[in-house]
Structure 1
Amino acid sequence: MGEQAARLRIDKWLWHARFFKTRSLAAKAVASGLRVNGLSVAKPAHMVGPGDVLTFSQGRTVRVIRIAAPGERRGPAPEARTLYVDLDPPAPRAPEPQAPRYDGGGRPTKRDRRALDRHRDVLE
C-alpha cells in the first residue's frame, strides 16, 4: 500500500509541480513526447514516483528533472519546488537588445521614425 501511495499519474505530477498550468496541457506534453528514465512515454496515466528522471520540453528548453516527492496537492510555488531536483538547470537567457530611443526633444521627424522602424524590423 505504501509503494502504491507514493506513485502518481505523470500528468497530475507535472501539474502539481507547476511545470504546466493545467492538467490538460501536461497531458498534451506527455502525448507529444516525454521520457521517464530514458524510456518514451505516450500515456498521461503512466505512474511515476520518487527517483524517476523525467526529460521533456517546456517551451524552447529541454528540462531534466528527478522526482523527489509525489506531492499531495497543487500548492504554492515554493512547495512545488520541493517536489523535484533540477538535474540540468536552464542557462540564463541573454538579454534582448534594447530598441533605440529618440533622444531629441519633441516628436521624432519622419526620418527618425523610419530609422526606428528599420531597427524594429531587424529585431523581428
Structure 2
Amino acid sequence: MTQQTRPQIRLDKWLWQARFCKSRAVAARLVAGGHVRVNADKVRKTAHRVGPGDTLTFPQGGGIRVIRILAPGTRRGPATEAQTLYEDLAPAQDSVPAGG
C-alpha cells in the first residue's frame, strides 16, 4: 500500500478529532512546538498527513502517549467514537503499591 492510496488527514485535525486536544489551535501548537513524533520522526508541520498504521508519540497530562492510528475520522464526535480512531500502545499503568 503506498502513501497515496491510504486515507490521510492533517495531523492537527486528527489530534483534535480523536479528542487528544480541546481545539485545533491547541493541536497546532503541540505539533508546531515539535512535541509530536510520527513513526519516531519529530514533526513540526501541522499539515503533516497521517493515516492508518502511523504511530504517534506526544506528551499529555504529565505522561507520554503512544498511539497507533486506526482510522482518519470524518468529524469530532463523542469520546466513544473518538476512541475507535486509535489503539493505545502504552496504556496508563494502574497505581498499585509494590507488594500489594
TM-score, normalising length: structure 1 = 0.70
Unaligned runs of 5+ in 1: 95-124
Structure 1 match to 2:36: 34
Report the identity percentage.
58
Letter of the structure 2 residue corresponding to residue 41 of structure 1? V
Q: How many residues align?
A: 92
Choose the corresponding residue for 1:92, options 87, 91, 94.
Answer: 94
Q: Report the Cα distance in structure 2 between the residues aligned to 1:93 and 1:46, rounded to whole angstroms.
A: 36
In the TM superposition, 1:99-118 aligns within 5 A as none
Structure 2 match to 1:64: 66
The C-alpha deviation readout for 1:68-109, integer Å capped at 9, x for no partner, is 000000000100000000000112357xxxxxxxxxxxxxxx
Q: Report the Cα distance in structure 2 between the residues aligned to 1:50 and 1:89, rounded to whole angstroms.
A: 19
Q: Report the Cα distance in structure 1 between the residues aligned to 2:89 and 2:76, rounded to whole angstroms.
A: 22
Structure 1 match to 2:21: 20
Q: Report the Cα distance in structure 1 between the residues aligned to 2:5 and 2:20, rounded to whole angstroms.
A: 24
Query: If each structure's helix is expressed as a fraction of its own residues, which one has the higher value?
Result: 1
Query: If each structure's strand is expressed as a fraction of its own residues, which one has the higher value?
Result: 2
Higher RCO structure (Cα 8 Å, ≥6 apart): 2
In the TM superposition, 1:65-84 aligns within 5 A as 65-84=67-86
Shift in Å, 1:59: 2.3
Shift in Å, 1:55: 0.2
Give the direction of change, closer, same or farther, for the CA distance of 1:93–1:28 in structure 2 (3 Å limit): farther
**Rg larger in structure:** 1
